[in-house]
Amino acid sequence: MQRTAALLLGLVIAAWTGQTSLAAVPHPLWSSDELRAARSVDEESALVFDVQAETSSGGETTSANFTVTLAPSFTFLDRGPSKELEDHWLCRSARWNADALTLEHVNCHALVGFLRIELVNRQMLGRALSAASEDLAGDHTYLSEAELGVQANRPQRLRVARSGDVTEVRLGRRRVAVFEGSATAVTPDEARRVRRFFARNEILHPQVRAALPTDALPALIGFERSGMKLGDDYRVLRISNARRVRTAYPLPEALSSDLVSALGGSSPREQALARSQAALSGAAVKPEATAIKARFDEAVEAGRALHGLLLLIELSQLYPEISLRGDPQMVRLGELMDQSLDVAAFDLANSLAGDPRAEGDREAAARFLVSDTMASAPFNTFRYVTYANLIRGVGDTSGWDPAIAQSMPASLTDAYWLHVVAYPWASGAYKDVGDAYFGTYQPVEAWAAYDLGRAVDPGWASGPMKAVETFERQLRAREPDFF
């Protein structure tokens, strides 16, 4: 037990790296005024054009008209009452209606993160289809990549043929895309903005995007878009009235986040959003480090090893810059932990929660987490996080004692959010709940949690949330057209 206790102590007193996030982190509770205040709203030069779109799908044809503005720092689609903004400066994707008082905005990585994992799902389906029909599987593979705008490591065998101002892209003998004419000549920077538009908004297959002219915006673009086989869904864009204008940042003032309406709700997520907002505004005051340390000293002096350990974890999460290395009470705590069966049980639960391949009785670990011993301990909502991580690594718990689940929050995300309700100042639980959402294909909810965690915790980059930033960099490197 001594080695295990020492390892756990090492985790919670690890040296503070001193790395902090200095700039305000945009998060989904921001209003349009806060978004506008975080960036320049001055006029900038933009390429603007009108689009007439016609889609043939399932034997029916629909049409729509909209205007596109491609500025260096944003892409704006005006669809009449509906407005769509890609803010490349703040990395936010925003949607609102002309007569609305609210807007929805999410992290710009959310879409790309989802597309990558969805492509894996489509590839699995494609392998199943290949058993039925090689042609059908080939169509499905291409159309999946065309619908998502991302592709697998092995490129499609497409042929690009140019004749005058017409470019055809073919998959075998079948045409999958065509570009005709020129709406306007474009500069290299404008061509990059056009590719970004055809990655995020009017999605083209990556190899079709790469075939776009680098010196002109086509007047007509036709492309196979989705479906189970070629011909199921074909879209034609007719581009006209291309012009260069000086335009200001289009996001209106005085729009509140659509999530603000959830702040008065009673669900764990709604409560957590409200507590996060309170932490950001200063209304929810973080416990003083001296007060936590005093309770820690009291627990150690009274010989309560588990209480001392949990208070140490609380101090390390809320004040990671404070190290108790060399404190006399740490020596005493180590001695107590080596003799404590409760600490051993808690340590095992955390070890099993952190490594799905670790060996141990997970049901027994979960039973300890719901015990009165843990429920009466300080910082006891941390057990919800441990429990949720434990369950995520198990999968099927149908054979477990039903009293365990009945004593815990109704869902894994509820478990994480309830810890945030109690302690909204540290980014770790936000990272955990974001990962849980991402693992169930809910990228918008995932990045909402990630962004809130980075906003409330100035030291997020020194903890587990750093992995999210690393993943975002990987997405940008893998899919540069989207950024």
Among the three residues 234, 254, 274, which one is the final residue of a domain in this structure?
254
Please indicate, yes or no, whether residues 188 and 269 belong to a single structural domain of this protein: no
Residue 52 to residue 66: CA distance in whole angstroms: 7
Residue-level pLDDT at 153: 81
Residue-level pLDDT at 24: 84
Please indicate, yes or no, whether residues 126 and 234 belong to a single structural domain of this protein: yes
* Cα distance between the two ends of the chain: 50
Among the three residues 231, 254, 277, which one is the final residue of a domain in this structure?
254
Backbone angles phi, psi at 78, to 5 degrees: -105, 105
Residue 451 to residue 468: CA distance in whole angstroms: 10
User: Three-class SS of residue 277?
Assistant: helix
Residues 159-168 have pLDDT tens digits of 999 999 999 9
Residue 234 to residue 59: CA distance in whole angstroms: 11
* Residue 32 placed within a domain: no
Please indicate, yes or no, whether residues 220 and 288 belong to a single structural domain of this protein: no
* Residue 31 placed within a domain: no
The CATH number of the domain holding residue 133 is: 2.50.20
Please indicate, yes or no, whether residues 269 and 246 belong to a single structural domain of this protein: no
Residue 188 to residue 183: CA distance in whole angstroms: 16
Residue-level pLDDT at 134: 56
Please indicate, yes or no, whether residues 19 and 135 belong to a single structural domain of this protein: no
Residue-level pLDDT at 127: 66
- Give the model's confidence band at 122: pLDDT under 50 very low, under 70 low, under 90 confident, else very high: confident
% residues pLDDT > 90 (the chain): 85
Nearest to 49 by CA among 206, 209, 247: 247
CA geometry: angle at 39 spanning 187 and 24, to 5°? 130
pLDDT at residue 472 is higher than 90: yes
Structural domain span for residue 427: 2-25+263-482
pLDDT at residue 365 is higher than 70: yes
Sign of CA dihedral 406, 407, 408, 409: positive
Please indicate, yes or no, whether residues 20 and 52 belong to a single structural domain of this protein: no
Residue-level pLDDT at 28: 97
Please indicate, yes or no, whether residues 167 and 280 belong to a single structural domain of this protein: no
The tokens describing 100, both together, are 């609305």
* Residue 33 placed within a domain: no
Residue 340 to residue 118: CA distance in whole angstroms: 46
Residue 466 to residue 19: CA distance in whole angstroms: 11
Please indicate, yes or no, whether residues 90 and 221 belong to a single structural domain of this protein: yes
* Residue 60 placed within a domain: yes
